[in-house]
Amino acid sequence: MKKVMFVCKRNSCRSQMAEGFAKTLGAGKIAVTSSGLEASRVHPTAVEVMSDIGIDISDQTSNALSDFKAEDYDTVISLCGCGVNLPEEWLTREVFEDWQLDDPDGQPNKTFYRVRDEIKERVKQLIINN
């Protein structure tokens, strides 16, 4: 089973939603973790917009990338263009992608919904390709 790391700046919104989709849509197909260049919190609006479609991410935690080892993962997905700030060992995994999605933090709820739906489509493709 492929191990996937979703990484973002603060592991608050985008990477948390990606983790929720991957755990739900990829159950039994991929193992998934999310982290941030720094840890913060799981954004309440991210929890809300995921709950609206039946995915509960309220028990997920915000974790720092430095808490993990790159060699434990096959695929690394940056959701925010932060790939340029990642240590080299994270960029040289079997698969590295930088999705560069808008940060919904501080934006209207409609932005959260749009970004959530973009993440869902990309995660579905990721699962198909793994």
Let me know if 82 is a catalytic residue. no
- Which residue is catalytic, options 80, 101, 115, 123? 80
Which of these is catalytic: 5, 8, 46, 57?
A: 8
DSSP labels for 69-130?
Answer: -GGG-SEEEESSSGGGGS-HHHHTSSEEEE------TTS-HHHHHHHHHHHHHHHHHHHHH-
Active site residue 8: yes
Q: Are 75 and 94 in contact (CB under 8 A)?
A: yes
- Catalytic residues, by residue number, are 8, 80
